[in-house]
Amino acid sequence: MAAEQKRRMRPIEKGVLYFILLGGLVGVGFMFYLNAHVDDWKVQLNSNMDSEKAQSLR
């Protein structure tokens, strides 16, 4: 019975392991994607804020 339980558990553990690995890869890829685009967004926000500041100063 213990051997049968072990055999039944293994695919589930494998699935969980793959899920974690896949999630990690997706997370790392997403982080790189965000980092690449956050810089663009920051530049856009800064230029927008600078133009707004310039308008309010006038």
Q: Is 3 helix (H, G, I), strand (E, B) or coil?
A: helix
pLDDT in tens, 17-54: 999 999 999 999 999 888 888 877 778 878 877 777 76
Domain boundaries, the chain: 24-58
State how far the Cα of 19 lies from the Cα of 14, in Å rounded to an integer.
8
In sequence order, what DSSP letters do the residues of 6-51 get, joined into one string?
A: HHHHHHHHHHHHHHHHHHHHHHHHHHHHHHHHHHHHHHHHHHHHHH
DSSP state of 1: -
To the nearest 10°, report the CA torsion of 27, 28, 32, 33: -30
pTM: 0.42
